[in-house]
Structure 1
Amino acid sequence: MLKDDLMEVTEVPMGLLEFLTKLGKALASAGISVVDITSILKRIASAYHVESEILVFPTMILIKLGEHETAPITAANPKPGLIPLNQVSELYELIYRAEDAAIDPVEGVKCIKRILSEKHLFGPTGMIVGYILFSVGIGLLMQPSLEQLIASGILGALVGTLILFGEKRTKFSVILPVIAALLVSCLFFWGVKAGLVAGSFVMLIPSLAYFLPGATLTTGMFELASDEIVSGASRVIYGAAILLLLLFGVLLGLQIMGLPNQELIVFNSATLGWWAPYLGILIFGIGMYLFMSIRNKDLPWVMLILYVAFIGEQIGNYLVGGFFGGFLGSFLMAVSGTIIEKSEHKTPSFVSILPAFWVLVPGSLGFISLATLAGQNFSASVTSGLLMILTIVSISLGLLVGAVVMEPLKNKKIV
């Protein structure tokens, strides 16, 4: 629990407690780290000259305003998930005003309700088309054959439709990763048996990438490094559980299709050319724009951060090795995101860096390690598992170092 040393006041502004509670709940639902949520809420309370005690978990928020024993206190239970990024951008615009005490808290509550009621910018069709491009872009990063790339797009259309179907069906969304993995694996392994596509576990990743918990695992490690033990541990455990659910769906599909393990390979040797990953980043970014409902004004900065993270990772890989590549990519991503947020462009760093987590692929490495275990390649599985853990650590460390380096800019504007 954190506590500010603020000037004593006799009264909490009307509506401030409800405003902070609803804002914290919305930010937690978007998947923002508890470290950032706590910092944001305390800065807003400070702007209104109110002493605050705030405790944030991924699924619970406790807020107390004022220093007296009878000071108001409230609790909320957010539902973690990914809300459209246009809503996140507008929430941050509201935050910028609140940090200057430039909005009445009661009016702020109304703004939050309005923002969260807004629809996806591109509708159902845009979501499905976006996820197809999302899958094809991820596929290009893996240097596939042309047949595998086409398969990524077809399977992406299937998964995009499932995500859209389960968007407002809470019970279905709980089992959605298993259902998606089962259907994708059945279709893919059928294609392998029919000789339409080469059998590689890796090529299941593009269509299932949305469910891979790379951002969750990295955020969890970042929170652990920031002494948020409960939140960090819960995210890491949740991420591991999602990987196991995906693996269960894939193995079930493998058993249904009756495909021998000998017909499957884990890594893919086909290449399209040096240009493929760079084109993949562009296609992936456009897919995220449509699928995650990114505002037009934010898209250029999202694309910039994608290339910054990818090129930084490639430079780190070339100069030192894979772990330094993950560190350098995430460090440059964090620094660039903060600079953009604090400039006149005002694109929130969370919005600009979120897509880059898929580019840095810690979730994909975890899926590969489990896939090798499923193929009874135990030594390769252990190696891939350790690689995943160390990659997540390197990415989290890059984010942490980037946050520390950019801390002096937190309360400044860059023109």
Structure 2
Amino acid sequence: MLTFLAGLGKALSSTGISVTTIQSILYNVARAYQVKAEILVFTTFIIIKVGDEESSPLTTVNQIYGLSQLNTISELYELIYKVEKAEITPREGIKCLKKINAHPHRFGKIGMLIGYVFFAVGLGLLLQPNSQQLIVSGILGFLVGILLIFTQDKPRLALIKPVIGSFLVSIIFFWGVKNGFLTGSILLIIPALAYFLPGATLTTGMFELASGDLISGASRVIYGITILFLLLFGVLNGFKIIGLPQEDLLVVAAANTIGWWAPYIGIMLFGIGMFLFLSMRNRDFPWVIIVLYVAFLGQSLGNYFIGGFFGAFFGSLLMTISGALIGRSPMRTPSFVSTLSAFWLLVPGSLGFITLANLIGPNYSSGIADVIQVIMSVVAISLGLLIGAVIAEPLKLQKIKLKKFKK
């Protein structure tokens, strides 16, 4: 039992799930087998005690910038559903974990590369739907996709991937602007670099802080901020090498030259990209698409009636509730899988129009204001997650009571 709980905890931790959720799952499993356990979960290690036996501290691998496979996570949750009801023995659970961890990527490297191109082009259609954005997003997304695939089995490169990616993308972008091939809108580089944006990391960290897991929450927030600085470092160096005057940069989105329907097509392309890039199961794909449209609709309504921060909050709220409801449906698509993709929609949508050029130039007061906007957007998304979880919890309890009544 100790070995199984340790393996399950390590597998969950490697996906980037909050330590609050991991601890709750492990305690539920221990109770299902009527075992008294003491469990301590942090972002980088786990300690578990079952009876008089205690595991040595287990070092976990934070794969926020690894290429986690969503089909593996879905199967991991299927195993959790079984062991929370004690339907299999811990020994069988260990065998299932080994089998799950051995699954290869469904679509291989070529599928991953095609998926990332779709990922970038889909986000480009959301940010500024025009032909230039589509071409640039596709080309830069192709280059970043090659980088991600090349470094996927090299954990030592995890922290320098954002620097390399942002440096290469910015070099190409600023060179194109300097030579008149591209307009100066900084928004052109966001879709290709969106995978590196630590929106999910910062939001999960805020969620953990609000849940009382101060050490894990604080470390995750610091890690996310570090990634942001690494991204900025790469962009700054690309800017300095090309020597582009700051006045040549634009920070306003270009007009929509494709049509009002472009963002809705963009969401579908983005969803297909996530399906291929992160090895999603076929039966999970429709539910992920539904959550993406729900999050986009919530964000759009919030932006229209109140403003950007409320849009981020309302999109996150609807995303969390819809993901929780889908996770309890007969299809059993885990809420983590159905909502993970929506983070990339919410974060670029909330932060895409922040004037990144102010961080490059001497206008530091405006740059500080932009940093505050970033923080408030993350807080808004985190608040939506928290309130969504509070709303969804009574629905779960009501479902449990209904099952007992039927029995």
Calculate the TM-score normalised by the size of structure 1: 0.92
* Stretch deviating more after TM superposition (367-376 or 136-145): 367-376
In the alignment, which residue of structure 2 is the partner of 1:249? 234
Partner of 2:73: 88
From the superposition, tell whether residues 371 and 263 of structure 1 become closer, same or farther in structure 2 (CA, over 3 Å). Answer: closer
Q: How does 1:27-66 map to 2 (within 5 A)?
A: 27-66=12-51
**C-alpha distance 334-364 of structure 1, shift in aligned 2 (>3 A):** closer
Confirm or deny that 1:401 pairs with 2:401. Answer: no
Q: 1:384 maps to which residue?
A: 370
Measured in 2, the distance between the counterparts of 1:315 and 1:332 equals: 11
1:160 aligned onto 2:145: yes
Q: Partners of 1:32 and 1:405 in 2: how far apart? A: 20
Instruction: Give the distance between the partners of 2:190 and 2:356, measured in 1 at CA.
Output: 12
8 Å CA contact 2:205–2:221 kept in 1: the answer is yes
Match of 1:263 in 2: 248
Structure 1: gaps (5+ residues): 1-15
Q: AA paired with 1:296? A: N
Q: Is the Cα–Cα contact under 8 Å of residues 129 and 262 in structure 2 kept in the other structure?
A: no
CA contact (8 A) 2:252 2:353 kept: no
Tell me the equivalent position of 2:307: 321
Cα distance between partner residues in 2 of 1:408 and 1:95: 21
Matched, 1:23 2:8: yes
Partner residue of 2:132 out of 138, 147, 152 = 147
Moved more, 103-112 or 157-166: 103-112
Deviation of 1:229 (Å): 0.7
Q: For residues 357 and 94 of structure 2, what CA distance do their matches in structure 1 show?
A: 46
Q: 1:56 to 1:371 in 2, by over 3 A?
A: farther
Cα shift at 1:104 = 0.9
- Of the three residues 277, 288, 294, the one matched with 1:302 is 288
2:215 match: 230
Judge conservation of contact 1:27–1:37 (CA < 8 Å) in 2.
yes
5 Å matches for 1:122-141? Answer: 122-141=107-126
Inter-partner Cα distance in structure 2 for 1:362 and 1:232: 22
How big is the shift at 1:269? Answer: 3.0
Tell me which residue corresponds to 1:9: none
Matched position secondary structure for 1:299: helix
8 Å CA contact 1:19–1:106 kept in 2: the answer is yes
> Percent identity between the aligned chains?
58
Kindly report which structure 2 residues correspond to 1:338-353, keeping only aligned pairs within 5 A, or say none: 338-353=324-339
Contact 2:129–2:263 (CA under 8 A) maintained in structure 1: no
> Aligned-pair distance for 1:377?
2.7
2:263 corresponds to: 277
Q: Matched residues in 2 for 1:260 and 1:72: separation?
A: 61
Q: Which residues in structure 2 correspond to 1:339-378 (within 5 Å)? A: 339-361=325-347, 365=351, 368=354, 371-378=357-364
Kept after mapping to 2: 8 A contact 1:139/1:149: yes
Match of 1:177 in 2: 162
Offset from partner CA, 1:221-257 (integer Å, 9 cap, x none): 1111111111111111111110111111111111111
Query: Is the contact between residue 362 and residue 392 of structure 1 (CA under 8 Å) also seen in structure 2?
Result: no
CA deviation after TM superposition for structure 1 residue 53, in Å? 1.4
Deviation at 1:326, TM superposition (A): 1.4
Query: Residues 186 and 257 of structure 1 are in contact (CA less than 8 Å); yes or no, is this contact kept in structure 2?
Result: yes
- Preserved contact between residue 127 and residue 349 of structure 2 (Cα < 8 Å): no
1:324-347 superposed Cα distances (whole Å, 9 cap, x missing partner): 221111111111111111110100
Are positions 1:78 and 2:24 aligned together?
no
Query: What is the CA RMSD across the aligned residues, in angstroms?
Result: 1.8
Which residue number in structure 2 is paired with residue 113 of structure 1? 98
Q: Secondary structure at the match of 1:53?
A: strand
Instruction: Give the drift of 1:315.
Output: 1.2
Q: Deviations over 1:280-315 (max 9, x none)?
A: 111111101110111000000000000001101111
The one-letter amino acid paired with 2:322 is S
Q: Is the 8 A contact 2:187 2:352 kept in 1?
A: no
Structure 2 gaps, min length 5: none
Letter matched to residue 267 of structure 2: I
CA contact (8 A) 1:298 1:347 kept: yes
CA distance in 2, matches of 1:367, 1:210: 17
CA distance in structure 1 between the aligned counterparts of 2:187 and 2:262, rounded to whole angstroms: 17
Q: How many residues are paired up?
A: 397
Determine if contact 1:337/1:349 at 8 Å carries over to the other structure: yes
SS of 2:38 mapped into structure 1: strand
SS in 1 for 2:61: coil
Tell me if the contact between 1:137 and 1:280 (Cα under 8 Å) persists in the aligned partners.
yes
Deviation string 1:203-234 (CA, Å, 9 cap, x unpaired) is 11100111010110111111111111111111
Hey, what does 2:279 align to over in structure 1? 293
Deviation at 1:196, TM superposition (A): 1.4
1:177 deviates by 1.1
When normalised by structure 2's length, the TM-score is 0.93
User: What is the CA-CA distance between 1:21 and the residue it aligns to?
Assistant: 0.6
User: For structure 1, which segment, 252-261 or 233-242, has the greater mean C-alpha deviation from structure 2 after superposition?
Assistant: 252-261
Q: CA–CA distance in 2 between the matches of 1:410 and 1:36?
A: 15
Q: Distance in 2 between matches of 1:265 and 1:344?
A: 48
Separation in 2, partners of 1:363, 1:227: 29
**Structure 2: distance between partners of 1:171 and 1:391:** 30
Conserved in 2, the CA contact under 8 Å of 1:220 and 1:235? yes
Instruction: Specify the alignment match of 2:183 in structure 1.
Output: 198
CA contact (8 A) 2:308 2:350 kept: no
Cα deviation code 1:90-117 (max 9, x no counterpart)? 0000000000001111111111111111
Inter-partner Cα distance in structure 1 for 2:9 and 2:262:
40
